[in-house]
Structure 1
Amino acid sequence: MGIEITKVTGDEELQLVFAIRRTVFVDEQCCPPELEWEFEDESIHFLARHDGQPAGAARWRRTEKGYKLERFAVLKEFRGMGVGQALVKAVLADLPADAQYIYLHAQVPAMGLYSKLGFVAEGNQFEEAGILHYKMVLY
């Protein structure tokens, strides 16, 4: 079976996405819940499954700057299996053909993953929800 990425179309899948994000960001990384849940209605969400099991989540949304990739989360037991890379590729493939400025805020430990896929760090390190990040842009 391997890794399968689907665009979320129903509430049941969206609840799985939210559960993954709650586990990774709120429980594991101690992100304040009020900072985790924003822009949900204007975002396009994705669910990753590994051998049929919910394993990861991500989303993209249009901002005033361009297209922002966000909330990449992979459950601990599925890390190192290619789920994150598959999510990034699926999200990028879903962007409109005319998407020009594509960026994300990468947690420092995840920068290597994004770099492999063409993202380049720009600017200074910053803190978001108590976690160190860099802005990364796709060129």
Structure 2
Amino acid sequence: MPPKAEVRKVSDPADLEKVFAIRREVFVGEQNCPPELEWEFEDESTHFLATVDGEPAGASRWRKTDKGYKLERFAVLSKFRGYGVGQELVKAVLADLPADATYVYLHAQIHAVTLYERFGFEKTGPEFEEAGIRHYKMVRK
């Protein structure tokens, strides 16, 4: 039986450093995102940390924008991919959104589109590039 991911909302500095370390490894290290594009809106975001058997495995966040609620920075460390960590992160973030979150959207990397489709998100508009990576805007219906 594969290990089960646990996801929790985090705000203390020690847990946030784990979140940022995961994002640094996945986005800056693996995907070559410019660091200056990776670190923005941290103070206005609600952050989540996924662990597997107590070990940091993934991260994500949501924040309120002028358009609605944006889900962002979904990252799963390579050794934990394929075990449902991403799905657990999406579930936790969606469950944490305020009751007035009627417009929920994200910018999905091409390879993650099917994950978000499972949660009711639909592609809107053309493919675009963000931080050198191909994305689609997706909105939850």
Question: TM-score normalized by structure 2?
Answer: 0.97
Q: 2:75, 2:69 → 1: CA distance?
A: 18
Check if 1:51 corresponds to 2:48: no
Q: How far did residue 9 of structure 1 move?
A: 2.2
Aligned mate of 2:31, from 8, 29, 32: 29
Percent identity between matched residues is 69
Aligned-partner residue type, residue 37 of structure 1? W
Q: How far did residue 51 of structure 1 move?
A: 1.3
Q: How far did residue 117 of structure 1 move?
A: 1.1
Query: Secondary structure at 1:72's aligned position in 2?
Result: strand
Q: 1:41, 1:91 → 2: CA distance?
A: 17
Aligned mate of 2:22, from 20, 23, 43: 20
Check if 1:125 corresponds to 2:127: yes
Q: Which runs of 4+ in 1 moved over 4 A?
A: none
2:13 corresponding residue in structure 1: 11
2:108 corresponding residue in structure 1: 106
Q: CA RMSD in A?
A: 0.7
Q: How is 1:16-95 mapped onto 2 (pairs within 5 angstroms)?
A: 16-95=18-97
Q: How far did residue 127 of structure 1 move?
A: 0.3
List runs of 5+ in structure 2 lacking aligned partners.
none
| Partners of 2:48 and 2:93 within 8 A in 1 | yes
Question: TM-score normalized by structure 1?
Answer: 0.98
List runs of 5+ in structure 1 lacking aligned partners.
none
Aligned-partner residue type, residue 49 of structure 2? L
1:2-50 superposed Cα distances (whole Å, 9 cap, x missing partner): 2110101200000000000000000000000000000000000000001
For these two proteins, the number of residue pairs brought into alignment is 139
